[in-house]
């Protein structure tokens, strides 16, 4: 029912979603002191701004981008898969996917909270000849979950919840030589991560990705959908990891975070700086303590 209710809105022009979304971003920013503080702290922490002027420009762009990212979910989730793919105007690095598909090894596609993650996943699902299984964490607003699931199962794709059953589903998909899409920068639960530097500060980082890659011998590719200005669409970036995972949790987490940082530098305002990336999950050791 929710899909039917929201579907007519999905056909509004993308520039309109981005204009209204930018206004929404500012509204939420001024309405929530905690949200406002976290964006500011995380941006300052990143060191991406070289001066106060750079910081203010980056902050303003980030506030607007947060709102755009929320509203663009409507067309990304509810337009047919081929029509979502047409919103992508450029793709750099598809040759890495082509090379990976020439091998029987499975494919692990990794997109941090950068740009339009749902557009990125839909674009990949529309072009890949292999089935795509996407790991998802149920949204805090439970009524959004049917919309998310409807989106992530288009074109024969599969959705795996972020629990033990979902992890088994990912291992099974990779064992069958298929493709998996997941976000690597969500803070995992205690015992499911290690502390590793992220923009110069320890962040509790998942070990699931490296375990999946090492167990399946998958090709790992980083990707994101950069939002183009004035609602013109998106540019997909795809690149390989700078090195192979070794199987050593600490080293692999540090490698992953360094490569995520490099991807964020392509469009720093479009990262989800409001996310509490540096939180300590209940029961997790303190940074520097033995796991």
**% residues pLDDT > 70 (the chain):** 97
Q: Using DSSP bridges, classify how beta strands 219-227 and 234-240 pair: parallel, antiparallel or unpaired.
A: antiparallel
Q: Are 160 and 134 in contact (CB under 8 A)?
A: yes
Q: What is the pLDDT of residues 134-179, one digit of tens each?
A: 998 877 777 778 878 888 888 888 989 888 899 999 999 999 999 9
Q: Using DSSP bridges, classify how beta strands 201-206 and 193-198 pair: parallel, antiparallel or unpaired.
A: antiparallel
Cα 48 to Cα 45: distance, rounded to the nearest angstrom: 8
Q: What is the pLDDT of residues 34-56, one digit of tens each?
A: 999 999 999 999 999 999 999 99
- Where do the structural domains in the chain lie, given as residue ranges? 2-270
Taking 50 as the threshold, does the pLDDT of residue 188 lie above it?
yes
Taking 80 as the threshold, does the pLDDT of residue 255 lie above it?
yes
% helix, strand, coil for the chain, step of 5: 50, 20, 30
pTM given for the model: 0.94
Average confidence score pLDDT of the chain: 93
Quote the pLDDT of residue 1.
57
Q: Are 158 and 112 in contact (CB under 8 A)?
A: no
Give the Cβ contact number of residue 150 at 10 Å: 16
Quote the pLDDT of residue 291.
46
- Alpha carbon distances (Å) from 257 to 3, 158, 167, 182, 196: 36, 27, 21, 15, 7
7: confidence class by pLDDT, cuts 50, 70, 90 = confident
- Any residues with CB less than 8 A from the CB of 209 and at least 6 apart, and which? 108, 110, 182, 184, 220, 245, 252, 256
Bridge partners of residue 159, in order along the sequence:
134
Taking 80 as the threshold, does the pLDDT of residue 215 lie above it?
yes
- Alpha carbon distances (Å) from 271 to 42, 185, 265: 10, 11, 9
């Amino acid at each position: 029912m929710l899909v039917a209710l929201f579907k007519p809105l999905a056909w509004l022009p993308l520039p309109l979603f981005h204009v209204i979304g930018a206004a929404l971003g500012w509204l939420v920013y001024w309405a929530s002191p905690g949200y406002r503080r976290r964006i500011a702290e995380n941006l300052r922490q990143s060191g991406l701004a070289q001066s106060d002027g750079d910081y203010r420009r980056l902050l303003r762009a980030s506030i607007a981008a947060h709102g755009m990212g929320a509203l663009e979910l409507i067309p990304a989730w509810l337009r047919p898969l081929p029509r979502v793919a047409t919103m992508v105007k450029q793709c750099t690095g598809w040759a890495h996917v082509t090379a990976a598909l020439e091998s029987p090894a499975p494919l692990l596609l990794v997109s941090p909270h950068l740009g339009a993650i749902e557009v990125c996943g839909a674009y990949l699902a529309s072009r890949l000849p292999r089935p795509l299984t996407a790991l998802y964490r149920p949204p805090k607003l439970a009524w959004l979950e049917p919309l998310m699931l409807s989106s992530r199962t288009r074109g024969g794709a599969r959705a795996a919840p972020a629990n033990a059953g979902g992890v088994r589903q990912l291992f099974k998909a990779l064992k069958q030589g298929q493709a998996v899409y997941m976000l690597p920068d969500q803070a995992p639960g205690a015992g499911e991560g290690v502390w590793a530097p992220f923009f110069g500060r320890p962040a509790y980082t998942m070990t699931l990705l490296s375990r999946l890659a090492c167990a399946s011998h998958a090709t790992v590719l980083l990707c994101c959908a950069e939002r183009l200005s004035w609602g013109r669409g998106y540019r997909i970036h795809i690149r390989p990891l700078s090195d192979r995972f070794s199987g050593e949790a600490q080293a692999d987490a540090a490698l992953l975070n360094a490569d995520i940082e490099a991807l964020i530098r392509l469009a720093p305002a479009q990262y989800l700086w409001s996310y509490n990336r540096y939180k300590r999950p209940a029961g997790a050791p303190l940074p520097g303590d033995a796991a």
